[in-house]
Amino acid sequence: AQTVTQSQPEMSVQEAETVTLSCTYDTSESDYYLFWYKQPPSRQMILVIRQEAYKQQNATENRFSVNFQKAAKSFSLKISDSQLGDAAMYFCAYRSWGDKIIFGKGTRLHILP
Amino acid sequence: DTGVSQNPRHKITKRGQNVTFRCDPISEHNRLYWYRQTLGQGPEFLTYFQNEAQLEKSRLLSDRFSAERPKGSFSTLEIQRTEQGDSAMYLCASSQEGQHTEAFFGQGTRLTVV
């Protein structure tokens, strides 16, 4: 069965600095997708960034980028120029083609002014 | 397109009562997911539908839980004989399989069993 592991329950970063959130996953599939979702306090989950496993190029969305290491089954999220609005729970998620999405336990990110 | 809508937003019920939640997905989305989330944890998969067909139900889900999507549009999640351990946020998400790889989430229904 596929699993997603986030080893950092909480992290803090100074405003305007860069932070990296870690995620590892386990799968025997070759065709799959990885995601980072953000869940602000008392607000709904929104997609931050998506990575297709067949793409070697790391995905980037403005200040958010990933480091996708397929052989190591690692998928980290880098947030550059951290802003107060980035404070939230961040969930790493996995799905194989046509299947359900499974989530890690999350990392709570604090932004220090 | 108003996004995924869940009702009610909050539900307080007494132990032993039955509760039903509704999810209206983004129109034309053929896939619908239900997840449960407890405080400080990640969403835990419950079940999902492709149109009206229930494709998978979590083995962690007891027989007290049932979900339907009768016409392939909205879905309901019923919990019978609620227990205090059922207290959680119940999240619904939808996607258009073949077009989206990610799911779009609603705001959730927070259930408190007293």
Helix (H, G, I), strand (E, B) or coil at B88: strand
B42 and A106 within 8 Å at the Cβ level: the answer is yes
Contact list, B100 vs chain A (CB under 8 Å): none
Instruction: For residue A65, give both structure tokens.
Output: 């980028």
Percent of chain B beyond pLDDT 90?
Answer: 83
Residue range B109-113: mean pLDDT, rounded: 98
- Residue B42 has its nearest CB partner, among A52, A100, A103, at A103
Beta-bridged to residue A71, according to DSSP, are none
**Other C-beta atoms lying within 10 Å of the C-beta of residue B71:** 9
Q: What is the mean pLDDT of residues B74-84?
A: 97
B101 touches chain A (CB under 8 A): yes
Per-residue pLDDT, A77: 98
**Residue pLDDT, tens place only, B14-54:** 999 999 999 999 998 999 999 999 988 999 999 999 999 99
Rounded-to-integer distance, Cα B5 and Cα B31, Å: 14
Cis peptide before A41 (omega within 30 of 0): no
Per-residue pLDDT tens over the stretch B82-98: 999 999 999 999 998 87
Q: Which of A73, A86, A59, A96 is nearest to A22 (CA)?
A: A73
Question: What's the rounded Cα separation, in Å, for the pair B49 and B92?
Answer: 11
Judging contacts by C-beta atoms under 8 Å, the chain B residues touching residue A35 are: 101-102
A93 forms bridges with which residues in the sheet? A35, A103
Distance from CA of B106 to the nearest CA of A (A): 6
Per-residue model confidence as pLDDT tens digits over A22-54: 999 999 998 899 999 999 988 899 999 999 999
Distances A75 to A26, A36, A97, B73, B91 between C-alpha atoms, Å: 11, 9, 18, 34, 24
Are the Cβ atoms of A50 and B103 closer than 8 angstroms?
A: no
Q: Facing residues of B5 across strands? A: B24
Q: Are B16 and B86 within 8 A, CB to CB?
A: no
Mutation for testing the B interface, residue in A6, A51, A96, A101 having most B CBs under 10 Å: A101
Residue B53, token pair as written in the block = 């067909």
Q: Which positions in chain B touch A108 (Cβ < 8 Å)?
A: 40
**Rounded to an integer, what is the distance from CA B114 to the centroid of its chain?**
21
**Chain A residues in contact with B104 (beta carbon < 8 A):** 47
The CA-atom distances, in angstroms, between B74 and each of A17, A23, A60, B78 are: 43, 33, 34, 13
Number of alpha carbons in the 13 Å side-chain half-sphere of residue B95: 18
> pLDDT tens-digit profile of A55-92?
989 999 999 999 999 999 999 999 999 999 999 999 99
**DSSP code at position B61:** S
> Which pLDDT score is estimated for B1?
54
| Best of A44, A55, A108 to mutate (most B CBs within 10 Å, chain B) | A44
Q: Are B6 and B19 in contact (CB under 8 A)?
A: no
Nearest CA in chain A to B33: A100
